[in-house]
Every structure is written in C-alpha cells, then in structure tokens.
Amino acid sequence: MKSKIAIGLAAALTVAVTGCCGDSGKDWEAQRKDALDQMRTFVYNTDGCDILYWPTNQPVSVAAFTDRRLKYALNSRIAVVSYCPQSAGFGHFTCRKAGEPLTNTVTVIHHGNPSAQNAAADFFALGTDPLEMASDFCRTNSLGIFVSIRVNDQHDASSTLEKGYSALFPPFKKAHPEYLMGSIDRSKNKHLFCGGVSWSCVDFTHREVRERMKTFVKQFFDNYDVDGIEYDFNRHFILFKSVAAGGVASEEEKAMMTELMRDLRKITEAAGRKRGKPIVVCMRAPDSVGYDNACGIDLERWFAERLVDVWIGAGYFHLNPWEDSVALAHKYGIRFYASIDESRISRKAKSSNAPFIPGRESKAAYAARFAEAMAAGADGVYVFNLEGRYLNEIAQIDGARSEGENKIYFARFRGMGGYRPTHWLKDGDRFDNLPNIDPALPKGEMPTHKPGEHYAFHITVGDDLASVNPPPKVTVKALTNLKAGDEIGLSVNGQKLDAGTCKDGLFTCKAPAGAVRKGRNEFAVTFPSRDGKYTLNDFAVEIRYR
C-alpha cells in the first residue's frame, strides 16, 4: 500500500511533521512507514487487569508480572503489545509517571477471603510500574510496545451516593464534577438516555478536559519508552453530553475533538523528533463514518489531515463489511486493522435461553475472523480481551495464509452479545449494515420473514478452496424456528444446496467446495410458502480440512 502522507494535511501539522530537527519530510516519512511495517499483521491489546486484580498468593516481582500475561505473546505472530495501564475513569493509570496514579484498593473476595487486589503501589515500591515492565519485556523480546489509553472509560460509574465513590473514580473527577455528563446522584441523570453508565464520563466540551488529556499524553512520552499510542475511543464511546442526552454531536463539538487530535499529533510528533523516530498513532473506534460523526468524531477529516496512522475498526459491535472500512482507510493512506474482540453472543444467548450455533469462541472461529479480515484487505488484526494460553494458540494463525486451518464463519460473530450501537447513540442501530442474523437479540427484536421470502446476505471467506487438494468439507448451517419436514431453500452464489438434515430448527447441509470462493459470497435462505412467521436465528459456514 502506498502512503499518501500529504493528503489534506493542515498547515500547522505539516510544519510539525516535516519542518523541524533538520530531517527532510521524505526521510521522516520513510521512517514512519518502517515503523508501521514493523507492526506486521498482529497487534495484541492487554487491558491492565493483570495489575489491578493481582492474585494475593503470587509474589510481587517483575517475573511474576510477565508470567501472568505477556509471556504468551512470545513464539507467536504478535508483533506489537498495546498495553493499557487501566486508565479507568479518565487519566487514572496504574503507572507512576503519567496522569493520576491508580493505587486505590481494589479487592476481589473469593469464598470470604481476598483472592486478588490492586498491586500498583507494591510495584511502585519496587521502583517500577506495569507500563515500564511491559516496555522492558517488549524491548528484550523484539516486540513493539504501545500505550493504550481508554479515552473515556466509565468503569467507575458504579459509584453511588449510598456506597460512595468507586476505587476507580479519579481525583480529577472528584474535584470537578461539573465536567461530567451527569451526577453521582442518579436522580439527577434523567436527561441522559444511557445515564446509568455514562454519567461518570467526562464531557469534552470543557477545555479543561481536553487540556488534561494533552497533559497526560505528553507525560507518557516524556517518561516511557513506547513506540506508539492507541486512543481507544471504544472504552467508552461517549464524548459529549449532547449525545449522552439522546442527540448527535454538533459541528462545533466535532471541531473541538478535531482540534484536540491536532494538538495530540503535535505532541507525539515532537516526542518522535526528540527520539529520532516517529511515534505511531492508532485510534480504535466504531467502523462507521456516520456513527462516528454522530458521536463526535469527524473521521474522514482526521484521515485527510493524517491525525492518525492506523484505524482499528469495530470492537464492541461491527457495523459494516470489512471491505468498506479497508477502502475508506486506504483512500487516505491510513492503515486498517480489524478489531477482533471476544464474542459475547454465546454468553448472552445462554442467559436468555435463545438458541445459537456453538463455536464462536473456538480456534476455528478466530481463524475464520482473521482470514475474513485479511481477505477483505485489512493490514492486520488487533485482538482484545483475549489472554493467556488461548491467546498464544490463536496468535499462531496467519490470517493471510490459513488454508489447512479449520474454520467456522458466522454471519455475525459479535452481534448484540456485548454493547450494542444504541448503548452510546440513540437509534445507533440505523448504522448497522451487516446481516440481521443475531441469536443474542432481545426477545421481540428477532426479525421475522414472510412465507416464500428469499433472504440473501454476504459472508467473506478467506480460504482459497480452489487451491486445496483434496478439497475440504464445507457445511452450511441455518438455525431457524422451523421443524423437521418443513421445506427450506439454501444456496450459495446462486447454487442451490440440498436441505440436508434438520434437528431442533438447525438445518445442516453439505456444500461443494467449489461453490464457495475466496472473498465475498452470497448466501440465501428461502422460507416455506405456507403461512407463518419465520426466523433465521443464526447462520454459519464450517470448513474442515481434517
């Protein structure tokens, strides 16, 4: 992919990028490309809970820290660790030299006894902290190291008048309740359509909030040896009180965030110049221009001005085909990484007793997700909330060359099992352009289909089955509210498939390997012509090589 560094760059940023320290723009941008190339195709985010919930039966030592999580990044395809020093509650970090130190007691009780607690202060006493240890580990093992900042984390929203402030609630918020979306007094939050969770978020209309963020970003680069920064807007995606109250961000509000990002880019460029190497800037945000704009991010302007180098798209929910996001990012010379979060559909579906096709947390499902993203043209994948030995196992998969690896492709991997688009934006579901096939939808929201309806949708397959000999076994699975003996039509790319078997509404049929191609495939379900309301609860394509 050719870089288009100069596209639409604001004058002030152009000076920052190309005009200081005696380096030519070409040399500096060549270094930036090298830094981006070193990310390769696999980025691992770890959320800092290794310190926040430290087992009380474990010694406090550097070796114990790396053994908890980081060691599983070794001997894998992971190229970069994006370490989050918690940042619970905006600028509240489990590190010593940036923001406000999160050393409050956070205790997990198991069978009446403490089983885990915040160990940040214990490591401070040793003269180190999690980000410093993570950086040292990555340097020793030839891995890139980014700091991940949760832009507006609201895990401190459990604070109440009765219980007092949560241990995660930062001093900055206590000192300035006027900067928050709402109040710890829940009775005063009726103006917020999602007030139960968003009240503790900071409102970026306040200049002091924006200045605070610039301060701690600068502190990270003044005090830590990191290669890049990740602005994680998904944790959590509330920026303005106007949006939290059920509206959309104004042009003035979007301009505030754009100006903040310009200032942050200047900070990282200056830090990079001082070090002699560019700082990689990533942003993690929903994969929809419309959704992001409504929430306050003028996505295409940020890309045109090159305020970020990498867009990590999706996360809690996935709104558009990967191909669309790749095309948008590459149009502006931005690299695109697909955010592959753990699936919560199985968890949510189980809790509501809704039927679903098992396998979303299997290695085969992650192999499919990686292959799907890479086949769509993504520059790489980014994994979130995947840890330990399981992380190491799935991080062996090369999504770009995974023929021979068993896979199970779902019409929706994540769906409404986690946060849904309406969690952050009123009527946010209107930006959802993926197949409406989700077993975790609340009761009453499962779409129904008319008699004889032909419902078609696309799934991107990353496997080049034509190149495999012998061909793998391909099985199509459609979970419905139908019964054995009901007629149903299944097809792929216009080729009709045998209905196969049916048990408890699950139709299973074999498909010729030649019917499925690498890239986008059209699957279709034709419902019976007799009267009735029909549902398609789940859909999957399984490819087995062995």
Give me 212's structure tokens. 């605070």
Based on the domain organization, do 235 and 92 belong to the same domain?
yes
Q: Do the strands 92-93 and 100-101 form a parallel or antiparallel pair, or are they unpaired?
A: parallel
Looking at residue 75, its amino acid is N
Based on the domain organization, do 329 and 458 belong to the same domain?
no
Q: Can you give the CATH number for the domain in which 208 is found? A: 3.20.20.80
Helix (H) or strand (E) holding 114: strand 113-117
Based on the domain organization, do 257 and 156 belong to the same domain?
yes
> Does residue 416 lie within any of the structural domains?
no
**Across residues 107-132, what is the average pLDDT?**
94
Per-residue pLDDT tens digits for 6-37? 333 333 333 333 334 445 567 999 999 999 99
**Which of residues 352, 370, 398 is at a domain's end?**
398
Whether the CB-CB separation of 408 and 540 falls below 8 Å is answered with yes
Per-residue pLDDT tens digits for 425-469? 999 999 999 999 999 888 788 999 999 999 999 999 999 999 999
CA distances from 484 to 1, 434, 447, 541 (A): 50, 28, 21, 20
Instruction: State the pLDDT at residue 5.
Output: 30
Asked, as a colleague might, if the bond just before 355 is cis with ω within 30 of 0, I would say: no
Distance, CA of 401 to CA of 248 (rounded, Å)? 42
> Does residue 269 lie within any of the structural domains?
yes
Q: At what angle do helices 251-275 and 11-18 cross, to 10 degrees?
A: 10
- Residue 514's pLDDT band (boundaries 50, 70, 90)? very high
Based on the domain organization, do 359 and 476 belong to the same domain?
no
Whole-prediction pTM value? 0.94
Map residue 164 onto helix, strand or coil: strand
Based on the domain organization, do 387 and 463 belong to the same domain?
no
Instruction: State the pLDDT at residue 3.
Output: 34
- Residue 352's pLDDT band (boundaries 50, 70, 90)? low
The closest alpha carbon to 296, from 210, 379, 168, 184, belongs to: 210
> Does residue 426 lie within any of the structural domains?
no
Distance, CA of 280 to CA of 36 (rounded, Å)? 7
**Across residues 53-76, what is the average pLDDT?**
97
Map residue 76 onto helix, strand or coil: coil
> Does residue 403 lie within any of the structural domains?
no
- The proportion of the chain whose per-residue pLDDT surpasses 90, expressed as a percent, equals 85
**Which of residues 398, 429, 464 is at a domain's end?**
398
Domain count within the chain: 2
> Does residue 412 lie within any of the structural domains?
no
Map residue 541 onto helix, strand or coil: strand
Give me 164's structure tokens. 């007092």
Instruction: State the pLDDT at residue 4.
Output: 34
**Across residues 517-530, what is the average pLDDT?**
96
Map residue 458 onto helix, strand or coil: strand
Based on the domain organization, do 356 and 472 belong to the same domain?
no
> Does residue 410 lie within any of the structural domains?
no
Based on the domain organization, do 460 and 382 belong to the same domain?
no
Give me 234's structure tokens. 């998904």
Based on the domain organization, do 57 and 192 belong to the same domain?
yes
> Does residue 460 lie within any of the structural domains?
yes
Based on the domain organization, do 196 and 340 belong to the same domain?
yes
Tally helices (H) and strands (E) across the chain.
17, 22
Instruction: State the pLDDT at residue 347.
Output: 66
Helix (H) or strand (E) holding 336: strand 335-341
- How high does pLDDT run on average in the chain? 92
Domain holding 138, by residue range, is 11-398
Map residue 361 onto helix, strand or coil: coil
Distance, CA of 534 to CA of 188 (rounded, Å)? 43
Counting every residue written for the chain, the total comes to 546
Whether the CB-CB separation of 217 and 154 falls below 8 Å is answered with no
- The proportion of the chain whose per-residue pLDDT surpasses 70, expressed as a percent, equals 94
Based on the domain organization, do 239 and 324 belong to the same domain?
yes
Per-residue pLDDT tens digits for 206-242? 999 999 999 999 999 999 999 999 999 999 999 999 9
Of the listed ranges 93-97, 154-158, 210-214, 325-329, the least confidently predicted one is: 154-158
Per-residue pLDDT tens digits for 155-196? 999 999 999 999 999 999 999 999 999 999 999 999 999 766
Instruction: State the pLDDT at residue 464.
Output: 96
- Residue 349's pLDDT band (boundaries 50, 70, 90)? low
Based on the domain organization, do 80 and 175 belong to the same domain?
yes
Per-residue pLDDT tens digits for 73-90? 999 999 999 999 998 889
Residue 434 is classified by DSSP as: S
Per-residue pLDDT tens digits for 275-298? 999 999 999 999 999 999 999 999
> Does residue 421 lie within any of the structural domains?
no
Distance, CA of 60 to CA of 119 (rounded, Å)? 8
Based on the domain organization, do 498 and 386 belong to the same domain?
no
- Give the chain's radius of gyration (CA, Å): 24
**Which of residues 382, 398, 414 is at a domain's end?**
398
Instruction: State the pLDDT at residue 344.
Output: 83
Distance, CA of 37 to CA of 110 (rounded, Å)? 45
